[in-house]
Structures are given as structure tokens and as C-alpha cells.
Structure 1
């Protein structure tokens, strides 16, 4: 066996899984995989805190799939993985496609926004018993309420991006799903953050769990971070100036507002910069097609709302640009986590208006990094000055958006570096699922692990 699989062989994983690991060229296990795989194999409940890019998806898939390969199947659904978004559900299922190529493990992604024929395919898989169901909460409840899903055989429940699900208001849905599952099961909870509400949920769902914490609230290694102090009316010109650099082939521009996303796209197209948007306004099929084209480098700039800030792996991004400061400091970590995967290099730029400076300083406190603060290009005019953080903390409200901030203090433009777990595997590809039965995969010439997951590795999301 190749040296790059010796680390995974040490877990005692099934030969069929090790063969997929070898063929797909995975690297050694990441820290979260080293900690989580033995715990899951032992049958323990687990709560794991690990950010995007550390390999947590494969950290739970590999031991679950090993159990399915190594133990006698009882029939029916064995594992339910709950995901906050359709995109993450599809991504998880694509990893299963690659990892299961040399196994008999079956799976299906169950999410809203599909056609009637897709609903029937989901129904058939749930009735007949696909081994692993990857589902969004609402769509899974729709199937469970119809009475044809036999949950007696379920041995594993996995909550992925649990903090995000609570932020999106899925608590009641999660508890409704849990109420339909056997009490004698193994429950795994993965979260990028560990606020009190996550610990409360864990106390309700998990029994004497092991706990893993990997690089909480740290941006990935290799990310060069910079922040520009700007007035609102300087943002679009600065964005166009930055995107005019040569050799930028893959950039995501994030904004918290759908209206701003549409405005950015129109402005870039007027300047001859090929850009497309993705937001909740698009139909699911449209969103999937835009993502497919972006991954294939059909256009260089994707303008996105927060729907992409977590859980979507797009490989080899040159830059992530925050058009506005994320409302939640943790969201900054996830946005920045889209670049510099697998400890490669990347760039993260944030535009900060005077009224957003307080929130941006909170991000620096959270990550432990003083972000570089370069000057605006002269042609853009005078920029607001950076306020002293201590003055912002004393003020009842942040500085409001006049043309000049009130403080004369200007912070150093030096970066404090980056720390934390970079982790992250290489590339994300669309799973080739042509020729499949409702949920069983045919091993045709175009459905090998390299096509199913296009170089995805356990060291990535």
C-alpha cells in the first residue's frame, strides 16, 4: 500500500475503504480525523468542534462506512445525516459516492426544491432502505410524516453544522426528527462553534459523549488577510480595482444582502468582468448549475450571499472578498475558510465602513490576528480613518457613516500572521451519478472515485 494511506490503515478500516483512499490520493489523517475516527469506531457518542476545511466530513463518514462494510446488514436505513443546506447535503453525498466506490454502501441526498420524479426516487430509497440518508431537516420531516420510512433500523444520527442549523431556526425540526428515531443509537454532533445553545442541544441528544475541539475560531493557515477602511460609495470602485489584477481565476465576493449581490453583479458585468450570483432567490437547479460552472472555471467571479459561507467546498480559490463585514464574527472565519484549503495560500479582503469598524475589531479579537490595513488607491479619494478600538468599546454606538471618522489614530498596516488548523483537502467535483438506480450506484467507466469526488480527500469538507 502507498505511504499516503498508512495513516488511515492504522485505524483498521475496511480494505475496500483503504482502496478508495489509495486511488483517490488522500493524504494522512487530519487532527479531527485522528481524534474522531477511533471514538466513532468505539461506538461512543461524540460532539466535535472543528471549522470548515479540517476534514470533519470524512471524519464521520469513514468509520460509519467501515461499520457498514464490516458488519452484517440488518436492512433498512442505517444512518441519517442532517445538514442545514441543500448544497452541503449534496457535497456530503458526493463524498460518499467517492468513498463507497469499492464498497456496497448506498446513499441518497434528500432535500427540497426538486421535481416530482426526484421525490419519488427519494421515497423509494427511504422505503427500500438506502444505507445512508443525507437530508435537510424540512424535507426529511416531510418523508417521515408520510409513514413509509421505517426508522427501527437506524443506528447512527449525525448532525453536521449543528450551530448553523440552530441559527437557521431548525431546533424544533431536529427534535421532531429525533423523536421518531430509536433511543438506542449512536449520535454524532459536528459544529464549527460551541456556543451555549449547542451544548444545551448536545446535553439533550448525546449520552456521555467524547468531546473534540480543533482550532476553534481560527482562520486557515496560508490566508493573507487585509481590510480596507472605505465609505459605502467607494466599495464598488475598489472592488473593480482589485478584480482587475491579472491571474485571478476564482474569486467569491460575499455580501449579507441579496439586493447588494444583484447590484455588484450588474456593476461587474458593465466593467467587462464575468460574474454570476448565487442566492436563495435562485431555484435549486439554477444554484447547482452556477456552482458547477464556477467550479469548472467557466467564469471567474461568484457573488454570493451567506448561503455559501459554510459547508460548500470550492477548491483552489484565489480570493474571498467580504463586500461588507459579516454580522457574526464566526461567519468571517467560515467565509475566509473558503480559500487556502489544504494549507495552500489564498487571500481574504474585507471592506469596512466606519459604522462596521466595531464589528471588525470583534473579528480580530476572536481570531487573535491584527489584520493588515492597506491604504486605498489614491484615485478613490480619502478613506475614513481607523478608530482606536478602545474608543469604540467605550462608545454606546459605533461611528456613523460620515465622510471622516472622528479619531486621528491609525492602526498599523502589519499583519499579525495566521494561526489555527488549516487542514483541507484538494478539489471538489460534481459526482457523476449517471446510470444509477434510485439509490444504488453502478460502477461504470465514468463513475470512479476520481469522478465522483474529483480529488476530494478526508482532509477537507
Structure 2
């Protein structure tokens, strides 16, 4: 199937041809006809599947066909980064259409706020907004949504996790009842279905399997202690002159600490919510333009950026949610390109990685630690439990299990030492090396110094509030 099969308006098709869009992705192939017919839709699709174009293209076609010059479509997104990204894609697709859009988001200075208000006053057919800032505009009487025909909710699950459900319902009260509503979500838990029933009418449903990672991604893991992670990152980044790398850490404090450790040796920037909006936009622009080669951040960038050509994704910490792993890995191997994803798995996160392997339906290759590294922990696979802690004193870890008192004359058993040197049953054997691990700098904070806090289901941390 090609895009010509949708019979788009000539100007829209010209834009697709100019951008090199030939064949639609599965989610585009399934969603575009439903949206063109004007039916409400619930679509489940992960990042990297082309979902933005799946709702933007039919909306642009309908606006172009109707000749509308008033506010026609509202797109809600969880973060300012995603709102900006969607707006940029709209500008690209509508190059020959004359359709305008404006992103509305919080966190900027007074200049940004004035620019947003002026754009609304001059008129735009499409508004892409974060819920918090849009509520402020509506409460101040700065927007008239009476002419709205389409409401799009992108990454609805993320907005639910960020606590935007009440804000969205408030926004819906400002909208005409006779409208088309489309909801896109990377996951479809019961709370999303229950919420969708409040704002959609007899929706069609489409689902693209969440557990599948792109075929072009080479996935592997290292079984390591926390004290080995920083040196392993250095080793990996030193093996090749990478043009685009993303490193994911579990908290913004780890992001800051690892950035301080790596910045002396590599061209790297840290992306976190403590930065001003102008700083974040500059960092993202530099990364897209390859002026910055390595970006380190939390899961806020696992869904909020669309950069083609990312060669490597490193999970410095194992994601707590298996679906977050899919989103992180989805940053690479986009647009049919190839990429690599490497995950560091410490003893207490082994049970998390087992859940990841079950979700993606494959066993990820275990890499042996490089020469010069002390042996890492045994990867227990299916036997791993949340309470299992395999530790190594030389790796700077302390066991959380209570130690039994030793009887006089008792000699330590060699069983644990032997376990450490065992190979993972399905992977390549690891060798024990006597070379000592370099000590971490006393003047710089270590990225692995902060204890990890297990997240509860349905809660996400380190998100940027609008």
C-alpha cells in the first residue's frame, strides 16, 4: 500500500512526496481511513510506529478540503517537548497547504508567553497544547473553542500517569459536543478504557502490539554491580566514534551525576527538568543537528523526541516498567535504520529484566564484561526474585540480607565465589580478572551512588510538568 491509496488532497500528497514518504506504517494504514471517515478512534501504538502522522495527515487533509480558516483541531500532549515535536511535524506536512499551527506549553519566559498569545490572536487552524497551560488560557478567556471539530489526545496513558485526567475533562467541557475525538496511547490499561468512555462516542479500536521492538535493533545486556556501571559506560563509548547516543538513567540526580563524570571525556549534555525551557530546547536542537553527540536523561526523553539516526541507546539503569524499555529502545532503529540497545542489569533489577524479556518475547544476549573488569553477578534469569541480592564487596556494594553469625574457626565457603564466576546458561562465559577496578573520583559525584527506589504500578517519576 502507498500513501496515494488514501486519495489525499494534491497539495498534501505533494508534501509527502517532497519528504520522501512512500508507504504508510501499519498504524497509519489502519488509523488514517477511520479518521478520514470522521469516526471516533482509540488506537494503541508505541513510539516509533509513525503514530503522529497517523492522526496529523487525515486532519490536515480534512482542513485543506474544507477550506477552514478558524480553529479546527486541538491536540493535547503530556509534555512541552512532545507538543513542539508534533507542531514541527505539522509544519513539515502542511508546507504546501497553508495550514498553520501553534504550540501552547508552560515553562517558558514572558517572551514565549507573549508569542503564544499573539499566535492565538492571529489565528491558527491547529493548536498543540499541554493540558496545564491550556487550562490557564481557557480560564482567562483567551481562547474560543466553539468552532473546534477535532480533539486528539496523544500519549493518553502518559497524561493519566501525570495526573492530567481532571484537566482533560475540564477542557472537554469547553468543546462542542459534536466533534470527532481520537485517543492514542502506548498502553491500554483499564483506566484508559474507562476514561475514554467519558469523552468518545462508539469508538473504533486499533491495536499495534506494544511488546515488539524494531527489527533493526541489536539488543544486549551486561550483568553488573552498580560500582561497575560508570567504567563500563566509558568503555562502551570509547569503542567507536558515535554520532548519536542516548543514555537513560532512573532519576534526574543520577543524570546530573553521570553527566559530571562523563563530560570531561565525551561530548555530552544532560537533559532534565531543572533546566530552563530555553536551555532544553537548545540542547535538543544541538542533539538533532549532531552538535552534541551524547544525550543523557530520564524517561522524559523516551517518548518526547523524534530523532532519526540514533545509533546507540544505553540503559544505565534497568527500567522498572517493561513498556518503558520498549519506548527507550524505540529511540533507535527508526525509519528502517539499524541501531543498538545495551542494558545494565544489577542484582536487584534482575527480576525486572526477566519481565522485559517476557514482554518483548525474546531472550536478550548477555555480553561478557570486557577484559580488566572483575566478574559480575550471575544472571539468574527466571529464578531471579525482587528479594534476591547478589553482591560483591569489591564492586562497592553492601548486601541488604542479614548476615549470619559465624562460628569460631568457621571458614568462608567458596560457593558464592564459584557462583560469581559461573556463566549465564545461554550466554558466553565470563572470565575473572585480577586487575583492580579504578577508584571513582573523590571530587566528582558518582552516578550509581544514589539508591534506586522501586516505582509503584501506574506512577512515573521525573516528568516535566506543564
Corresponding position: 1:54 with 2:68: no
Query: Does structure 2 conserve the Cα–Cα contact (< 8 Å) formed by 1:113 and 1:284?
Result: yes
Q: d(CA) in 1 for partners of 2:165 and 2:26?
A: 29
Question: Which of 319, 337, 353 is residue 312 of structure 2 equivalent to?
Answer: 319
Residue deviations 1:271-298 (CA, integer Å, cap 9, x gap)? x212110011111110110111111111
Shift of 1:104: 2.0
Q: d(CA) in 1 for partners of 2:189 and 2:137?
A: 31
Question: Which of 425, 429, 435 is residue 411 of structure 1 equivalent to?
Answer: 425
Query: Does structure 2 conserve the Cα–Cα contact (< 8 Å) formed by 1:157 and 1:187?
Result: yes
Provide TM-score, normalisation by structure 1. 0.84
Give the equivalent residue in structure 2 for 1:428. Answer: none
Shift of 1:388: 3.9
Corresponding position: 1:399 with 2:397: no
Give the equivalent residue in structure 1 for 2:92. Answer: 98
Q: d(CA) in 1 for partners of 2:336 and 2:19?
A: 19
Query: Does structure 2 conserve the Cα–Cα contact (< 8 Å) formed by 1:143 and 1:149?
Result: yes
Matched residue SS, 2:89:
helix
Q: d(CA) in 1 for partners of 2:91 and 2:324?
A: 29
Question: Which of 352, 359, 370 is residue 359 of structure 1 equivalent to?
Answer: 352
Structure 2 spans left out of the alignment, 5+ residues = 393-415, 429-466
Shift of 1:409: 7.5
Query: Does structure 2 conserve the Cα–Cα contact (< 8 Å) formed by 1:388 and 1:409?
Result: no
Give the equivalent residue in structure 1 for 2:27. Answer: 32
Residue deviations 1:357-376 (CA, integer Å, cap 9, x gap)? 00110001111110001111
Query: Does structure 2 conserve the Cα–Cα contact (< 8 Å) formed by 1:81 and 1:132?
Result: yes
Question: Which of 52, 74, 77 is residue 80 of structure 1 equivalent to?
Answer: 74
Residue deviations 1:161-212 (CA, integer Å, cap 9, x gap)? 1111111111111111112111111000011111111111111111111111
Query: Is the alpha carbon distance of 1:411 and 1:162 closer, same or farther for their aligned partners in structure 2, counting shifts above 3 Å?
Result: farther
Query: Does structure 1 conserve the Cα–Cα contact (< 8 Å) formed by 2:216 and 2:336?
Result: yes
Number of residue pairs aligned between Structure 1 and Structure 2: 403
More displaced 10-residue stretch of structure 1: 20-29 or 353-362: 20-29
Alignment of 1:63-142 (within 5 A): 63-73=58-68, 75-142=69-136
Give the equivalent residue in structure 1 for 2:260. Answer: 266
Matched residue SS, 1:80:
strand
Query: Does structure 1 conserve the Cα–Cα contact (< 8 Å) formed by 2:220 and 2:364?
Result: yes
Query: Does structure 2 conserve the Cα–Cα contact (< 8 Å) formed by 1:253 and 1:323?
Result: yes
Shift of 1:402: 1.6
Q: d(CA) in 1 for partners of 2:370 and 2:339?
A: 22
Shift of 1:121: 2.8
Q: d(CA) in 1 for partners of 2:120 and 2:269?
A: 36
Give the equivalent residue in structure 2 for 1:454. Answer: none
Q: d(CA) in 1 for partners of 2:128 and 2:381?
A: 47
Query: Does structure 2 conserve the Cα–Cα contact (< 8 Å) formed by 1:161 and 1:311?
Result: no
Shift of 1:413: 2.2
Provide TM-score, normalisation by structure 2. 0.83
Higher RCO (CA-CA < 8 Å; seq separation 6+): 1
Question: Which of 143, 149, 170 is residue 143 of structure 2 equivalent to?
Answer: 149
Question: Which of 245, 250, 255 is residue 249 of structure 2 equivalent to?
Answer: 255
More displaced 10-residue stretch of structure 1: 350-359 or 379-388: 379-388
Give the equivalent residue in structure 2 for 1:438. Answer: none
Residue deviations 1:38-78 (CA, integer Å, cap 9, x gap)? 100100000111111111101111110111111142x5311
Question: Which of 3, 17, 21 is residue 16 of structure 2 equivalent to?
Answer: 21
Bigger Rg over Cα = 2
Give the equivalent residue in structure 2 for 1:283. Answer: 276
Matched residue SS, 1:379:
coil
Shift of 1:127: 3.9
Shift of 1:116: 2.1
Q: Cα RMSD (Å) of the superposition?
A: 1.7
Question: Which of 290, 301, 306 is residue 299 of structure 2 equivalent to?
Answer: 306
Q: d(CA) in 2 for partners of 1:274 and 1:125?
A: 36
Q: d(CA) in 1 for partners of 2:423 and 2:387?
A: 15
Structure 1 spans left out of the alignment, 5+ residues = 1-5, 415-461
Residue deviations 1:18-38 (CA, integer Å, cap 9, x gap)? 111111111211111111111
Q: d(CA) in 2 for partners of 1:295 and 1:131?
A: 27
- Shift >4 Å, 4+ stretches: 404-409
